[in-house]
């Protein structure tokens, strides 16, 4: 069923802002959003209208944050979706253009993120693989110092969001997309280390840079999310036609640390 067929009435900036407020999004919040545009059903103005509604819901005193990951700027021998022939690995390491926070498109993050990352005033952290974009008073604190090692660990925007007691909004996507659980993987010390690789600029020159990261595994995230919902830890509702969940990032990280295998 297409996103048009699932739509009773088209969503607008105003109706989306009202839905967000109904769900519990408040001015002044620091809000990390994971989204699917098509899940909302037809939106007048598409991704632009969704960004506009999110910005008006958190207000000028709030900070909007989204993941702007670039999963393709990573060690090709570890790729699974899809895997590529071993003979290509040296070419990929040698030729993939370096990450540039201004221009490198995101991979698998969605149309809303692609609009938000180029919105006037949006900042993006410098991590070549696991960057985040943020706009608002806390944007610099969140994106300013993102360590290369441990992409989603204590030196990442996820840890700053934890410090800031941010909220998370899953907008038409499930807990398998809840990136904050990666911070919990660090804190639970439940994953082995791997050597990651990525093309980045160093002193103005492109290099293939290797670094230590965790062997992240989102496999258990959906089940932990289901337990989190069953424990009544989120506010759930709809944004347009999309199922949505709003919750405390600290609470979900602490919850996952206790439950990760
Ligand atoms: C992968 C993912 C982005 C796919 O969602 P999606 O809704 O299919 O895709 P997008 O959000 O990019 O939206 C584009 C789609 O919206 C639909 N669309 C187009 N115009 C639209 C409009 N005006 N109103 C509503 N939907 C519209 C189309 O189906 C379009 O797909 P197309 O470009 O192939 O035609 C989503 O499932 C997801 O996982 N999002 C979260 C990502 C994330 O935060 N990950 C964290 C790290 S794991």
Please list, residue by residue across 140-163, b when 16 or more beta carbons sit within 10 angstroms of its beta carbon and e when fewer do. Answer: ebbbeebebebbbbebbbbbbbbe
Q: How far apart are CA 213 and CA 236, in angstroms?
A: 33
pLDDT digits (tens, 9 = 90+) for 73-108: 999 999 998 999 999 999 999 999 999 999 999 999
Residue 69 contacts residue 31 (beta carbons within 8 Å): no
* pLDDT for 162 beyond 90: yes
* pLDDT for 67 beyond 90: yes
Read out DSSP for 106-164? PSSS-HHHHHHHTSTT-EE---TTT-EEEESTTHHHHHS---SSSTTSTTSHHHHHHHT
Ligand 1 centre distance from Cα of residue 110 (Å) = 5
Residue with tokens 């938000």: 116
* pLDDT for 16 beyond 90: yes
Query: What atom in ligand 1 is closest to the CA of residue 66?
Result: 44
Region at 253 (left for phi over 0; alpha for psi -120 to 50; beta for the rest): alpha
Q: What is the mean pLDDT of the chain?
A: 97
Q: 18 CB less than 6 Å from ligand 1?
A: no
Tell me the best of 36, 53, 114 to mutate to test the pocket of ligand 1, counting ligand atoms within 8 Å of each CB and taking the most: 36
pLDDT confidence band for 257 (50 / 70 / 90): very high
Q: How far apart are CA 72 and CA 91, in angstroms?
A: 14
pLDDT confidence band for 259 (50 / 70 / 90): very high
Percent of the chain with pLDDT over 70: 100
Q: 66 CB less than 6 Å from ligand 1?
A: no
Q: 182 CB less than 6 Å from ligand 1?
A: no
* Angle formed by the axes of helices 13-23 and 46-58, nearest 10°: 40
Q: 148 CB less than 6 Å from ligand 1?
A: no
* pLDDT for 261 beyond 90: no
DSSP state of 74: S
Q: Which pLDDT does position 17 carry in this prediction? A: 98
pLDDT confidence band for 247 (50 / 70 / 90): very high
Q: Tell me if residue 103 falls in helix, strand or coil.
A: coil
**Average of pLDDT values for 33-58?**
98
pLDDT confidence band for 180 (50 / 70 / 90): very high
Q: 59 CB less than 6 Å from ligand 1?
A: no
Residue 23 contacts residue 258 (beta carbons within 8 Å): no
Residue 181 contacts residue 162 (beta carbons within 8 Å): no
Q: How far apart are CA 231 and CA 215, in angstroms?
A: 28
pLDDT confidence band for 136 (50 / 70 / 90): very high
Pick the residue whose CA is nearest to atom 45 on ligand 1: 177
Q: 46 CB less than 6 Å from ligand 1?
A: yes
Q: 181 CB less than 6 Å from ligand 1?
A: no
pLDDT confidence band for 1 (50 / 70 / 90): confident
């Amino acid at each position: 069923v297409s996103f048009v067929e699932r739509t009773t009435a088209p969503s607008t900036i105003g109706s989306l802002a009202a839905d967000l407020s109904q769900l519990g999004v408040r001015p002044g919040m620091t809000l990390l959003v994971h989204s699917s545009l098509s899940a909302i059903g037809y939106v007048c103005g598409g991704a632009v209208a969704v960004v506009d509604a999110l910005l008006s819901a958190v207000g000028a005193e709030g900070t909007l944050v989204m993941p702007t990951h670039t999963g393709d700027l990573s060690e090709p021998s570890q790729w699974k979706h899809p895997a590529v022939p071993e003979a290509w690995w040296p070419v990929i390491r040698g030729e993939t253009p370096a990450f540039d926070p201004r221009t490198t498109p995101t991979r698998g993050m969605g149309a809303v993120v692609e609009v938000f990352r180029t919105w006037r005033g949006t900042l993006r952290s410098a991590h070549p693989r696991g960057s985040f974009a943020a706009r608002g008073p806390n944007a610099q604190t969140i994106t300013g110092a993102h360590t290369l090692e441990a992409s989603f660990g204590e030196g990442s925007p996820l840890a700053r969001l934890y410090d800031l007691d941010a909220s998370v909004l899953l907008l038409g996507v499930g807990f398998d997309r809840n990136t904050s659980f990666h911070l919990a993987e660090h804190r639970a010390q439940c994953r082995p280390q791997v050597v990651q690789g990525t093309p980045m600029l160093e002193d103005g020159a492109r290099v293939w840079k290797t670094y230590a990261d965790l062997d992240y595994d989102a496999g258990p995230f959906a089940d932990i999310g289901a337990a989190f919902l069953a424990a009544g830890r989120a506010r759930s509702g709809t944004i347009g036609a999309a199922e949505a969940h709003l919750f405390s990032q600290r609470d979900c990280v602490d919850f996952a640390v206790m439950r990760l295998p």
